[in-house]
Amino acid sequence: MSENLNNQNTPNNPEEVTGDEVKRDFQGLIGSVKTFLRELLDIRKNTDQEATKEAIVADIAFKGHTSWILICSIFIASIGLNANSTAVVIGAMLISPLMGPILGIGMSLAINDIDTLRRSLKNFTVMVVLSVLTAYLFFALFPLRDESSELLARTAPDIRDVLIAFFGGLALVIARAKKGTIASVIFGVAIATALMPPLCTVGFGLAIGNYDYAWGAMYLFSINTIFIALATFLVLKLLRFPMVRYVNSQRRRLIGRVASLFAILVMIPASITFWDTLQESLFKQQAQRFIEDKVEPYQFEGSGRFMEDFTDIEFNEGENPIIELVFMGNEIVPDNVIATWNNQKNDEGFNRLKDAELRIIQGAKNEELDQLKYVDQLYETQKTELLDKDARIKLLEEELSRLGRLSIPFEDVSVEAKTNYENLESIGFSPTVKTDFKKLDTISVFEVKWKRDAKRVKVVEDAKKLHQWLKLRLKDSTIQLKEIVQD
């Protein structure tokens, strides 16, 4: 009887017991992971709400020292952009006080503090106007106004700038809210989000009358401003900062919806710009692959050469893209090979190249091409094969003797020279390679022959004037003049 009871209490299927144990262990693991992640990512425990609010409110003020700091930072940023100096621009970002009112706007919206919002908006507006005005005056009065890469980089924002501003704003507010503010994070966000350079670029665009530059830069600044403020709003809501006024839930929802709608509206143009940039990048990648797979394997029988460094890939929105390939040397690419390339760019693997125009520029056919560039490229590609200085000199002399006459408008120069100097009987030109066995120099040499009956004093005077005129006419101070002595 007892044996039957024992048998009834003994599990018939050991696998069910094992399954229950595994399930309990898995649930315990999930619980441990949740606890770990909660402790890892929770920022509420180490948040000092009062100190955070006081620090943000203190940075909103704009008067006295702050106004002069802003003016100085604008001048520094403008000079850095003008000189295309990244280091100087970064320095201007670090000392700019523009971040204070932006955080004030985000915080006041999060806690419904209308007075702080008004003060933040007023100071922010004054800062922006003063910054643009200062930059405008600098670029309008300063004689050098080149369109540097640092300036142009701030004229076409896209979705990546939105992400930088948003996550930079998150990092900044989280660092501000932590007990013992992380200064390095604040400096890093100031550099990453770059509030100052776009305002300087706005002033530059207005100074030179290029309103597309001004609009693009102001749009970038608006993106940075709005998404830093939005990040501040979201973080302070997450940290449950106490509401100051207008605590009814309907008003809070309204503010949240307005902030979200505004952020979406700002993202739309940036997303369009990013899409255009993405399409251009994909086109260029496919064009480069087409060149590597189809063009570069072509073998010349003679002295022809594909100049890879001179390849120009242009993606024009609304127009047919262009792939420009340059070939140099005496040998030309046959028309049937070019036709094959045109057919191959329509293959399935190159679907983005179907509407692209394939331009083939061949040095043997095109006299307008700067063929001296070919000599430089030829030397760079073959210098490892040249064993001594004599071989290098010989190579360059041969190439220059064949191509050098195309490097200047000789026909025009000779006509002008004959018009200005009546005693001039003939003029010739040839590029000459010289070396002091340390470096190679290519100089232009003009050979002139004067009429027999010309007075020697007049010839000497004309030769001097002709030499100076050739230097100015061709913008080359190394030009030498050689007189052919009459037999």
Each residue's pLDDT tens digit, 84-132 = 787 788 877 777 788 888 888 888 877 877 788 888 888 889 889 988 9
In a 10 Å sphere around its CB, with 0-12 CB exposed, 13-18 middle and 19+ buried, how is residue 227 labelled?
A: buried
Please state, in angstroms and rounded to a whole number, the distance separating the CA atoms of residues 289 and 279.
15
Which of 62-69's residues contact partners 24+ apart within 8 Å by CB, and which partners?
62/97, 62/100, 62/101, 62/123, 62/126, 62/127, 66/97, 67/130, 69/95, 69/96, 69/97
**430: which 2 tokens?**
């040839």
Under the phi-then-psi rule, with left for phi > 0, alpha for psi from -120 to 50, and beta for the rest, what region is 147? beta
**Residue that the structure tokens 């040095």 belong to:** 363
Torsion, Cα of 111, 113, 119, 123 (10° steps)? 10
d(CA 88, CA 95): 11
Task: State the sign of the Cα–Cα–Cα–Cα dihedral 264, 265, 270, 275.
Answer: positive
| Residue 80 burial by Cβ neighbours in a 10 Å radius (0-12, 13-18, 19+) | buried
Could you read off the pLDDT of 289-311 as tens digits, one per residue? 888 888 888 887 776 778 777 78
Cα within 13 Å of Cα(136), Cβ side:
16
Helix axes 114-141, 65-82, angle to 10 degrees: 40
CA 441, CA 439: separation in Å to the nearest integer?
7
- Walking along the chain (487 residues) 10 residues at a time, the average pLDDT comes out as 48 54 72 72 72 82 82 86 80 80 84 81 89 90 74 70 80 77 60 77 88 85 84 82 62 65 67 76 87 85 75 77 81 84 84 84 59 53 53 62 58 83 85 71 82 84 87 81 75
Contact 77, 194 (CB under 8 A): no
Which residue's structure tokens are 């295309």? 84
How far apart, in whole angstroms, are the C-alpha atoms of residue 363 and residue 328?
A: 5
Phi, psi (degrees; rounded to nearest 5) at 385: -90, -10
What's the rounded Cα separation, in Å, for the pair 186 and 192? 10
Three-state secondary structure of the chain = CHHHHHHHHCCCCHHHHHHHHHHHHHHHHHHHHHHHHHHHHCCCCCECHHHHHHHHHHCCCCCCHHHHHHHHHHHHHHHHHHCCCHHHHHHHHHHCCCHHHHHHHHHHHHHCCHHHHHHHHHHHHHHHHHHHHHHHHHHHHCCCCCCCHHHHCCCCCCHHHHHHHHHHHHHHHHHHHECCCCHHHHHHHHHHHCCHHHHHHHHHHHHHCCHHHHHHHHHHHHHHHHHHHHHHHHHHHHCCCCCCCCCCHHHHHHHHHHHHHHHHHHHHHHHHHHHHHHHHHHHHHHHHHHHHHHHCCCCCCCCCEECHHHCEEECCCCCCCEEEEEEECCCCCCHHHHHHHHHHCCCHHHHHHCCCEEEEEECCCCCCCCCHHHHHHHHHHHHHHCCCHHHHHHHHHHHHHHHHHHCCCHHHHHHHHHHHCCCEEEEEEEEEEEECCCCEEEEEEEEEEECCCCCHHHHHHHHHHHHHHHHHHHCCCCCEEEECCCC
Do 341 and 294 form a contact (C-beta atoms < 8 A)? Answer: yes
The residues near 255 (Cβ < 8 Å, ≥ 6 apart) are 109, 112
Question: 252, 127 in Cβ contact below 8 A?
Answer: no
Q: CA–CA separation, 159 vs 270, rounded Å? A: 5
**Residue 8, CB-side half-sphere exposure with 13 Å CA sphere:** 5
Q: What is the pLDDT of residue 133?
A: 92
Nearest 5°: the CA angle 326, 355, 357 is 20
483 DSSP β-pair partners = 448
Say if strands 322-328 and 357-362 run parallel, antiparallel, or are unpaired.
parallel
